[in-house]
Amino acid sequence: MPDLRFEAPGSLADAVKLLVAAEGPARVLAGGTDVVVQMEMDMIEPALLVDIKRIPDMGRIVQEEGGFRIGAAASGMEICEHEALCAAWPGIIDGVKLIGSVQVKGRATITGNLCNASPGADSVPPMVTAGALAHVVGPNGERDVPVEQIPTSPGKTSLGKGELIESFKLPARPKNSGDAYMRFTPRTEMDIAVVGVAVNLTLDEAGVCTAARVALGAVAPTVLLVPECADALIGTKVDDAALAKLAAAASAACQPIDDKRGTKEFRIEGTGVLARRVAQKAYERARANA
């Protein structure tokens, strides 16, 4: 068991340098609500922890090009308490609010939620439907990556050695758009999604859906962005027929497993049920956002 080295660099460049030079497993530490817990449970044994919270601006939430820029170290509670962000992206807030408790969210970040690469992460499906881009910094420069391309399988990401997420970009919001996220858990909170669904819609003035993105959580190795679900909604007023088509498409897209958190059968059926409910909620929000 190697001794653990803890570093809290003051610049992004130093953070990258530390990660590149790491011998043995290295982890980026933001809130630590996954990393520290996993260390305590002997699931991981990192040789290096790089705390990014002391890097200037890593905790920022600012408006940018009509959208938002969220720094990698912004905590869940800072996100939930940002009024403009809450108004523009209520579906993302739905997801963030479901992460742990208020205390956990006081530390936890959506960056960690994404990089932990659990298919059940609550903030990920609405970030995917929002079309969020992760700004990745590493030894070979910088790049923007759609968030759905970050996790590759449970516990694994597409980030290379020395790479870390610096921030997220949320796009500008057209009029008449709305998003929502819901999950199913046997308990009301402090639980892990058995099924999660996010829907992001844009409507025309008549209430007809012109654009849609639908993402499913906890029903496949990674969060799924499902075009067939979007197709079921586009061109409709999200009526019963469209919702039935959406539910069928969502259930059909699931590739779940049986595990301690739920059965395959339950997940497939639950995804359809939830997709309907979430689409209705997103539609209501879009209508209210004229």
Partner 1 sequence: MHDILEKSGFNPDANYKVVGTSPIKHDGYDKVTGRAKFSADAFAPGMLVGKVLRSPHPHAIVKSIDTSKAEKLPGVKAVITREDFPEKKAGTGAGDMTRIAMAREKVYWEGHPVAAVAATSERIAKKALKLIEVDYEVLPFVIDEVEAMQPGAPILHDYLRTKGATGADADKPTNIVERSVLKQGDIEKGFAEADVVIERSFDSKPMHQGYIELQSCIANTSDDGQVDLWCCTQAPWVYRDRLTAIMDIDSSKIKIQQSELGGGFGGKTTFYIEPLAVALSRKAKAAVKMTMTRAEVLKGTGPVSGTHAKIKIGAKKDGTIVAAQSELSFQTGPYTGSAFVNAQQAIWTRYDIANVETLCYEVVSNRPKVASFRAPCVPQIIFGAEAVITELAQAIGMDELDFRLKNAVAKGHTTIYGQKFDEIGLIETIEAAKNCDHYKSPVPEGQGRGIACGFWFNRGGETTGTMSLAPDGTVNIILGTADVAGSRMSMAMMAAEEFGIPVDRVRATLADTNALGFNRVTAGSRTTFSSGMVVVNNARQIIGELCSRAAKMWKVPEEGVIFEDGFCRPASSNVGDFEPMSMKEISSKTTYTMGAISAHSEMNVTGAGPGFAVHIVDTEVDKETGFVAVKRYTIVEDAGKMISPIQVEGQLQGAAVQAIGWALNEEYIYGADGRLQNAGFLDYRMPVASDVPMIDTVIVEVPNPKHPYGLRGVGEVPLTPGPAAIGNAIANAIGVRPTSLPMSPPKLLALMKSAKA
**Site residues (CB under 8 A) for partner 1, limited to 37-56:** 40-42
Which part of the chain contacts partner 1 (CB under 8 A), choosing from 28-36, 62-70, 126-134, 190-198? 190-198
- In this structure, what DSSP letter does residue 148 have? G
Which part of the chain contacts partner 1 (CB under 8 A), choosing from 73-81, 90-98, 153-161, 257-265? 257-265
Under the binding rule (CB under 8 A), the answer on residue 149 touching partner 1 is no
**Site residues (CB under 8 A) for partner 1, limited to 262-281:** 262-263, 265-266, 269-270, 273
- From CA 226, how far away is CA 214, in angstroms rounded? 6
If phi > 0 it is left, if psi is from -120 to 50 it is alpha, else beta; for residue 8 that is beta
Report the length, in residues, of the chain.
290
Number of shown-chain residues binding partner 1 (CB under 8 A): 22
Contact yes or no for 171/67 (Cβ under 8 A): yes
Smallest separation, CB 4 to partner 1 (Å): 9
- From CA 263, how far away is CA 194, in angstroms rounded? 9
Contact yes or no for 113/123 (Cβ under 8 A): yes
Under the binding rule (CB under 8 A), the answer on residue 259 touching partner 1 is yes
Under the binding rule (CB under 8 A), the answer on residue 240 touching partner 1 is no
Smallest separation, CB 193 to partner 1 (Å): 12
> In terms of CB distance, is 109 or 185 closer to partner 1?
185
Degrees, nearest 5: CA angle 34-40-42: 100
Smallest separation, CB 73 to partner 1 (Å): 24
Under the binding rule (CB under 8 A), the answer on residue 112 touching partner 1 is no
Applying CB under 8 A, which of residues 192, 225, 238, 282 lies at the interface with partner 1? 192
Smallest separation, CB 160 to partner 1 (Å): 30
Buried b (16+ CB within 10 A) or exposed e, 172-203: ebeebbbbbbbbbbeeeeeebbbbbbbbbbbb
DSSP string, 209-269: EEEEEEEEESSSSSPEE-HHHHHHHTTS-S-HHHHHHHHHHHHHH-----BTTB-HHHHHH
Sheet holding 224-225, edge to edge: 177-184, 195-203, 209-217, 224-225
Which part of the chain contacts partner 1 (CB under 8 A), choosing from 34-42, 59-67, 132-140, 234-242? 34-42
- With residue 140 as reference, give the H or E element that holds it: none
Under the binding rule (CB under 8 A), the answer on residue 97 touching partner 1 is no
Binding mask 160-189 for partner 1 (x = CB under 8 A): ------------------------x-xxxx
Binding site for partner 1 (CB under 8 A): 1, 40-42, 184, 186-192, 259-263, 265-266, 269-270, 273
